[in-house]
A = this chain, B = another copy of it.
């Protein structure tokens, strides 16, 4: 058996460390008389800082327990019923950096699962909701006392188009068997995260989020796409064109193959009608578009 703890050699150093809480689940109801607003959030917070003694000597005096991070998220949710997750994130960052000198950087993720009011005839119900289990709204802050970066995003947006997508004239090598496709089904899960040149509390984050979501959907629908790369660039460009406050956008696509089923063995044509969606493998494409002159 090893005896690894006797002779820790002195030439090993702790090059990086981080700790925190990964899934604080938070559901908040705001009562405006009988009208209720709900927020269904998941928070992850991770600290970087001067924690070497904890790692090397088991000295926990600088370690605020992850359990306290959880409690603090609930307290702050009670104190600051922010509408936009970005504003809630600013409050969390402000709290931890103010009261924890041992923390040099806070990495924070807030993810929102959307709920819609149940429609009753023409009206929306005041306190009953139906879930949209798919896409998520996200905010990520990485903050020191000197500098704060904020990314907002949309995750797992499922999009597909049955016209206006092709893949042709690509590079062929001896192992290429794929045929050119002048018309394909383009089915994808999209993630987009954008950052602001000067992020500040009280910016109209929610208005922008809905505007960017609309821009992504309309651009996806309108674009004559010659490849996933071509599509991704168009999506990013449309967002930067239409939202001046956005300085950079990261996009990634995970494309499940929708294979046209060969029905010739059964004496049938199949003109882009019957497809077999493949679970694996999945093509992935990612890109970052940035406004020039920016040094981020």
A28 touches B227 (CB 8 A): no
- Determine which of B164, B217, B268, B281 lies in contact with A75 in the assembled complex, contact meaning CB atoms within 8 Å: B268
- Across the two chains, which residue of chain B brings its CB closest to A2? B218
- Near B by CB (< 8 A), chain A positions 145-189 give 156-164, 167-178, 185, 187
Which of B7, B36, B237 is A12 in contact with, Cβ under 8 Å? B237
Q: Are A280 and B279 in contact (CB under 8 A)?
A: yes
Contact B291 A4 (CB under 8 A): no
Chain A to chain B contacts (Cβ below 8 Å), 7 pairs: A12-B237, A17-B286, A19-B286, A26-B275, A63-B227, A65-B167, A128-B160
Copies in the complex: 4
Knowing A22-B254, A26-B276, A171-B62, the reply to whether A161 touches B242 (Cβ < 8 A) is no
Interface contact B290-A221, CB-CB below 8 Å: no
The answer, yes or no, to whether A258 is at the interface (CB within 8 Å) is yes
Given contacts A266-B75, A277-B27, A229 and B5 within 8 Å (CB-CB): no
- Distance in angstroms between the alpha carbons of A268 and B227 in the assembled complex: 31
Write out, one digit per residue, whether chain A residues 208-248 have a CB within 8 A of any chain B CB (1) or not (0). Answer: 00000001011111110111111011101110111000001
CB distance from A14 to the nearest CB of B (A): 6
Docked-complex contact B287 and A17, CB < 8 angstroms: yes
Please determine whether A19 and B254 come into contact, CB atoms closer than 8 angstroms. Answer: no
Write out the residue numbers on chain B whose beta carbons fall within 8 Å of the beta carbon of A77: 273-274
6 extra A-B contacts, CB within 8 A, seeds A4-B234, A25-B278, A120-B218: A14-B289, A27-B277, A34-B163, A58-B225, A61-B171, A175-B266
Closest 4 CB pairs of A and B: A133-B134, A131-B158, A58-B226, A279-B279
Stretch at the interface among A49-57, A82-90, A196-204: A49-57
> Given the complex, which residues of B lie within 8 Å of A207, measured CB to CB?
none
Cα(A241)–Cα(B5), bound, Å: 10
- Given the contacts A46-B284, A215-B4, A280-B279, A9 and B99 also touching, CB distance less than 8 Å: no
Max chain B C-beta neighbours (<10 A), residue from A121, A232, A281: A281
Is A38 part of the contact surface with B, judged by Cβ < 8 Å?
A: yes
Cβ contacts under 8 Å, A70 to chain B: 281
Q: Please report which residues of chain A, range 57-94, place their CB below 8 angstroms from some CB of chain B when the two chains form the complex.
A: 57-68, 70-72, 74-75, 77-79, 81
